[in-house]
Amino acid sequence: MKVQVDRRDGLTAQADVTASGVFERAEKDDTFPRTLQKEDDATRGVIKAAWARKEIKGKRKELTVFHRPDGKGRIALIGLGPRGKFTADTVRRAAAEVVRGFKGKGARTVAYRLGTFVADNVRSEAAVAALTDGAVLGNYEFLKYKATSDGGFEEASIHLGEEFSRDEAALKKVSADQATLDDVVVWTRDIANLPADTASPERLAAEATALGKEFGLKVTVFDEKKLLELGCGGILAVGGGSAGHPPRMIVLEYPGGARRGRTVAVVGKGITFDSGGISIKPGLNMQDMKFDKSGAVAVLGILRAAATLKVPPRVIGVMCCAENVPSGTSYRPGDVVRSFNGKTIEIINTDAEGRVVLSDGLGYVVKQYRPDEVIDLATLTGAQVIALGDDCAGLVSNDDKLAEGLLNASAATGEPVWRMPLTDFHRELVKSDIADVRNSTDIPVAGMLTAAAFLESFVGGTAWAHLDIAGPAYTSAKTRKYQPAYQNIGATAFAVRLVTRYLETAPPRG
C-alpha cells in the first residue's frame, strides 16, 4: 500500500473513502463537532441530521458511512472513544478499523483528514505516524495461497488542510519513515505466515542470504556439519528428528550507522514447526505451531529494518532454526545434550525445545561478538499466554536500563509488554540432578519464568532481555475480535517495530 501526505483538506481529494475521526459524545451533548463541518457540507447536511438523531456516538470502532450526493465516494466517520483515553494507539486502531471496514466493498483509495485525528496529547507528527501504521498494517492480508482476493486498498493519503500545511515537509518525512518500517513488517509477516513445508530452516537461511546480498550485510549459515564442529548440541538435538528439513543457525551482521560503538545482539527462536517431538502435543490447533519460528523471523525483519533505516548501533542477528518432529532420530526425554558454551542440558520434555536451540545462539553470540546487550525473541511458553494473554509479551531482564528502553519503545509502537521478575526460586527449578540445567521442571509453576531462568544461564554477565512472544506473535480466528484491527489473522511480526524503535532511540551505554 502506498501512503502519501498532502496539504489539501481531504474532501477535494475524491478518494473512494474519506475518513474522519469523531470523539465520543457525552449523553447530553448535542453540539455538532466543528471539525466535521466540511464533511457535513459534502453530504449537504445529512451528517448533522444523523448527529441530531444520535446515530453517531463516537464510540471506539463505531463506523458510520455516508454516500456523497455528488457521487464522489463515501465519507466514513470512525469513533475514537472518549477524549480522556485518546492516545496515538487510538489513531492507529481507528485507521485500521476504517481500512478493514471497507474490505470487499470496492474501495481502493482512502483519505484521512488529519485535523480530526489530533488532540493536545497526540500532535500532528504522532497522528501521521499512527495513521500510516494503522492503514498499512490494517490492510495486510496473506494472499500467497489465495486464487482470488478482494484486493484491499492500494493507496492511503493523509490530508493536512490549512491547519497543518505549514508542516508539510516534516509530516511527509514522518509518514515516509513509518511506511518504510511498515513495509518491513509486511515483508516479515509474509515470511512468518509461510507453512512449515515451505519455510524450512534452509529456506529461512536462503531468505537471510538474499537479505544480506540486497543490503550488503555479512550473513553466515551454519549447516549440520558446521554446527557439529562448533559444538551446537542444542540445535542439532532439536533438529535431529527431521529427515527433510535439517537445522540451521544463521548469523547476520549489520555494521552500524553513523554513531558507531555499541553492539546489540538479537537472537530468535526459529522452530519451523513444533509438534512437541517425542513429547508430542495434542492435535488441537497444532497447525498454529508453524508460527513457532516467529522470533527468528522477527530477527530477520529487525535486521532488514536496521539496514533500511540505518540505525546507530551495530546489530548482530542470530536465528536458531530447526524443525521439532518425532521420528527414530529424534532427541528424547532423558537425553543429555551439550550446548555451545559447554553447559550440559538434561532433556525432560522435548516440547521445551525453544530454550534448547536458544542456548546455542545466546552462548555463541556472547562469546563471538561480546555484545553490549542481547535481546532474545521467542514464542517460548504456553505459560506466557496464560499469564498475559494474546496481545502482551512477557519481558524478563537482568538489566534495568535495557528493560526500560524496551518498555519505552513498546509504549511508542503500541506493542504491549509487561516485565516479570526472575528469582532464585525459578533458578532452582531448572537445576538438574545429572546435568548443569534441565529444560523443564517437576512442578508446573511460573513456566514463563523458569524458561527465562534457563536462558539466563547462557548469557553470562551480558545485559540481557528476553521477550516471550508466544501470545502476540500471531492472531487466531478466535482471538481476532479482541485484537486491534491492525492485527489480521495470522502472523503479526510482533517486536519488529518495537525492537527497531529501541535501536533507533536508545542512548549509547556507559
Q: What is the distance between the terminal CA atoms of the chain, rounded to a whole angstrom?
A: 41
Residue 337, H or E segment? strand 336-338
* Residue among 39 and 351 whose Cβ is closer to Zn ion: 351
Residue 24's binding partner out of ligand BES, Zn ion, none, with CB under 5 to 8 Å set by partner kind: none
Which is nearest to 204 in space by CA: 268, 108, 255?
268
- Residues in the interface with ligand BES (CB under 6 A) total 15
Q: Which of 385, 402, 422, 453 binds ligand BES (CB under 6 A)?
A: 385
What's the closest the beta carbon of residue 291 comes to ligand BES, in angstroms? 7
Task: Give the residue, chosen from 24, 40, 89, 274, that forms a contact with Zn ion under the rule CB under 5 A.
Answer: 274
Taking the complex as a whole, how short is the minimal distance between the CB of residue 75 and Zn ion, in angstroms?
47
**Whose Cβ is closer to ligand BES: residue 74's or residue 438's?**
438
**Cβ distance to ligand BES smaller for residue 72 or 281:** 281
Q: Does 274 bind ligand BES (CB under 6 A)?
A: yes
Does position 128 interact with ligand BES (CB under 6 A)? The reply is no
Task: Tell the residue number behind the cell numbers 446515530, with chain if given.
Answer: 55
CA distance 93 to 485: 6
Q: What angle do CA 254, 201, 241 make, to 5 degrees?
A: 140
Single-letter code of the amino acid located at 426: H
Main-chain dihedrals φ then ψ at residue 193, nearest 5 degrees: -80, -15
Report 290-319 residues binding ligand BES (CB under 6 A). Answer: 292
For residue 490, the partner it binds in ligand BES, Zn ion, none, with Cβ less than 5 to 8 A by kind, is none
Contact 246, 223 (CB under 8 A): yes
Q: Does 351 bind Zn ion (CB under 5 A)?
A: yes
In three state form, how does the secondary structure of 199-260 look?
Answer: CCHHHHHHHHHHHHHHHCCEEEEECHHHHHHHCCHHHHHHHCCCCCCCCEEEEEEECCCCCC
Helix, strand or coil, per DSSP, at residue 453: helix
Q: Active-site residue among 113, 269, 290, 355? A: 355
Residue 73 or residue 447: which is nearer to Zn ion going by CB?
447
| Comparison of 63 and 280: residue with beta carbon closer to ligand BES | 280
Say if strands 474-475 and 393-397 run parallel, antiparallel, or are unpaired. unpaired
**Strands 336-338 vs 344-346: parallel, antiparallel or unpaired:** antiparallel
Interface residue with ligand BES among 352, 356, 407, 496 (CB under 6 A) is 352
Task: Please tell me the distance from the alpha carbon of residue 448 to that of residue 422, in angstroms, as a whole number.
Answer: 10
- Smaller CB distance to ligand BES: residue 135 or 192? 192
User: Taking the complex as a whole, how short is the minimal distance between the CB of residue 477 and Zn ion, in angstroms?
Assistant: 21
> Measured from the CB atom, is 227 or 352 closer to ligand BES?
352
Task: Answer whether 403's CB lies under 8 Å from 395's CB.
Answer: yes
Question: Minimal distance in Å, beta carbon 413 to ligand BES?
Answer: 21
- Cell, residue 134: 494503522
**In the complex, minimum distance from the CB of residue 502 to Zn ion, in angstroms, rounded to a whole number:** 24
**Considering CB distances under 5 to 8 angstroms, the limit depending on partner class, which of Zn ion, ligand BES, none binds residue 447?**
ligand BES
**Binding to Zn ion (CB under 5 A): which residues in 289-308?**
292
SS3 call for 101: helix
The three-class DSSP label of residue 157 is strand
Examine the residue annotation and report whether 281 is marked as an active-site residue of this protein: yes
355 is catalytic: yes
Q: Is 468 in the site for Zn ion (CB under 5 A)?
A: no
**Distance of closest approach, residue 239 Cβ to ligand BES, in angstroms:** 14
Min separation Cβ 420 and ligand BES, Å: 15
Rounded to a whole number of angstroms, the minimum distance from the CB of residue 268 to Zn ion is 12
| Cα dihedral 323, 144, 308, 392 sign | negative
Q: Is 379 in the site for ligand BES (CB under 6 A)?
A: yes
Please give the grid coordinates belonging to residue 151: 484486493
Question: Residue 353, interface with ligand BES (CB under 6 A)?
Answer: yes
Question: How many residues bind Zn ion, per CB under 5 A?
Answer: 6
Rounded CA separation 36/47 (Å): 9
Q: Which one of 81, 247, 354, 472 is in contact with Zn ion (CB under 5 A)?
A: 354
Task: Name which of 255 and 389 has its Cβ closer to ligand BES.
Answer: 389
Is there binding between residue 383 and ligand BES (CB under 6 A)? Answer: yes
C-alpha cell at 418: 509487561
**Residue 491 dihedral angles phi and psi, to the nearest 5°:** -65, 140
Residue 381 near ligand BES by CB under 6 A: yes
Q: Which of 250, 165, 167, 246 is nearest to 204 (CA)?
A: 250
Q: Given the complex with Zn ion, which of 46 and 286 has the nearer CB atom?
A: 286
* Backbone phi, psi, residue 293, to 5°: -95, 5
Pseudo-torsion of CA 89, 91, 97, 103, nearest 10°? Answer: -120
Q: List the catalytic residue out of 72, 83, 281, 480.
A: 281
Q: Which residues bind Zn ion (CB under 5 A)?
A: 271, 274, 292, 351, 353-354
Q: Which residues bind ligand BES (CB under 6 A)?
A: 274, 292, 349, 351-354, 379, 381-383, 385, 440, 447, 470
As annotated, the active-site residues are: 281, 355
